[in-house]
Structure 1
């Protein structure tokens, strides 16, 4: 079950409607921010407009709802008092050059490639900066967050969950933070892409030691931010980052979140958007897990391991099952799962248990081991052949 939302976004049945739905001519909104349809890197006007609106989400909603022609937005905003921290023209030109130099691209609010999930927020980013690529329309993501000071068991569970999620076609979106975020994203990269959302400009990485991971994320998926180049990782940026992580995930998993943590804040944002919410249990004596244990007490999904993830997207879960079907040699052949690591990720079995099952199948003559964890299914493998049992959670 998902938790009942603690707050409504608009207090109406249209709470999850996108802000852009208020303007029937919203196609022009993209042009107001991009200046031209195929712009990849932002220009100075685009950067100025986005930063005038960045901390005034209500103003963006007003302009759209009133039907103000998008080409006039910057003209109107320039008549108003400029935000105190609006960069000078010289700084804006420097930001534009940085975007070109580092290949930082933009997706404007209302644009064709703007992630639809972000439109469900009451304050969607007016301009989304990204490196790599944006998640596709048919590319659901799973948000995984947790403590920066996680236990070794928590880190290992986050990695397994990330790997299994990516193998199931729901790669991880998280914040590249120390601890659970990084572990989950590394696991996702073992089987597919991952996306990271930063609380600073994309010309830097925070925390700094995540640089190599950030480049791996860019190569396979993408880094996202609503903050322009040069924006530092200020404390108040992270709650804003968290709401993007919550919106981008079709569901959210919490591993070891403290009672007053950013991870718990992200879970509440996800809850408010009506997303399915799951948490991994931990000892009540673990101070880094008070928040995640509280979520379980409130009724979110209990996750004991990767095999429980399917409940978050409405599928049955069970030992060695996916979509209700047991993993067999015949299924491995049909789905091209022919190495131990991938079978472990797809089934939810621990790698040691996967190797034990492969040994059983080999004794039955259903598979032939090829070395390096690889195997092939023999012609003798019957479609109904299976080994019952389930994964252990250490």
Structure 2
């Protein structure tokens, strides 16, 4: 099992292998080991150089560091992998976790908001987290300053912290004690390897995990352009409920929430409002892993004519995969095969909403 985990992790850590690509490779070739062997061939078909494989020694050192930290890996096909998160096409192929995984099997609500939140908003988030946890709801947030911190403190120990760094890195530094308490009494989740610093590009990835873990996301306070609204958008794309707490139109920190409400988010004032919105959802969707809704397995191969036709429809402007299927008249599996080859060759970029573009 350790060798299998190391092989899977080596494929995941190889440059250019994202969540969608990982799923397609394993679906097509049956194992990470077989996929690693085929990467050079697929990249050549896509017209580029093969990606540089992650070194086995580096993966072994990462796994040893994870074990020393008291954490463990959770792979996408593991039975303990959070079922709601597994529904996302972009679900992380591997998570690094510390704590109580049973928290992901309960009804889960995300509470997010501004880092520079007002005192009143922090008090509201803390109370909301406490009241929902008292009803058996698990609260997930990002261990950031402001609303995130307040929600975690109120919900302890029924809380999940998702961070944009390695499990051994604390950001912000003043949350060191809180992060350790979440790991000891709740659940701490990271997608990045140990030692990884919280770079700006990691936060949108962290936000998709927060949205994916939860049946619904509550935004307490947020500016019009903020990570909290990104989380709300990702929740909408995943078919989850989005809720928002109204605020004064005179406070810029409330503009994002008021905008969400105007666009159709549910107005929230109490924990009872959240429960009323979510409890009609069939609880079996939480307790039983949902079927995989990922892309179908790629076909055995695509012809040169297929590659020419599909590549000709691509350009620097992102276009939806469904539109490519309509215009190319190619079978979905054939299209996915060509996109996979282009991505492994470094010629394709994937965007939010199932869109792709060529890189030049």
Structures share fold, TM-score greater than 0.5: yes
1:97 alignment counterpart: 64
Q: Equivalent residues in 2 for 1:167-186 (5 A)?
A: 167-186=134-153
Show CA shifts across 1:204-243 (max 9, x none): 1222211111111112221111111122211010001100
Residues 1:265 and 2:230 aligned together: yes
Q: Equivalent residues in 2 for 1:1-394 (5 A)?
A: 35=3, 43=6, 45-52=7-14, 55-77=17-39, 83=51, 88-136=55-103, 138-189=105-156, 192-314=157-279
Show CA shifts across 1:13-35 (max 9, x none): xxxxxxxxxxxxxxxxxx6xx64
Distance 2:107 2:16 in 1: 26
Query: Larger C-alpha radius of gyration, 1 or 2?
Result: 1
Distance 1:265 1:282 in 2: 19
Instruction: With a CA cutoff of 8 Å and minimum separation of 6, indicate the structure with the bigger relative contact order.
Output: 2
C-alpha deviation, 1:162, in angstroms:
0.4
With normalisation by structure 2, the TM-score equals 0.70
C-alpha deviation, 1:59, in angstroms:
1.8
C-alpha deviation, 1:121, in angstroms:
1.2
Distance 1:54 1:95 in 2: 19
Distance 2:50 2:207 in 1: 27
Distance 2:112 2:179 in 1: 16
Unaligned runs of 5+ in 1: 1-30, 37-41, 316-394
With normalisation by structure 1, the TM-score equals 0.65
List, as ranges, runs of 4+ consecutive aligned residues in structure 1 with deviation greater than 6 Å. Answer: none
Distance 1:129 1:154 in 2: 31
CA contact (8 A) 1:258 1:290 kept: yes
1:368 alignment counterpart: none
Give the 3 Å change call, closer, same or farther, for CA 275–53 of structure 1 in structure 2.
farther
Distance 1:71 1:231 in 2: 26
C-alpha deviation, 1:67, in angstroms:
4.9
CA contact (8 A) 1:52 1:77 kept: no
Show CA shifts across 1:21-54 (max 9, x none): xxxxxxxxxx6xx645xxxxx64x4432221277
Unaligned runs of 5+ in 2: 44-48, 281-360
Show CA shifts across 1:117-154 (max 9, x none): 12221111111111113245631211000000100000
Distance 1:47 1:58 in 2: 15
Show CA shifts across 1:33-88 (max 9, x none): x645xxxxx64x4432221277523322322442534442333347665656x765
C-alpha deviation, 1:155, in angstroms:
0.2
Aligned CA-pair RMSD: 2.2
Matched position secondary structure for 2:105: coil
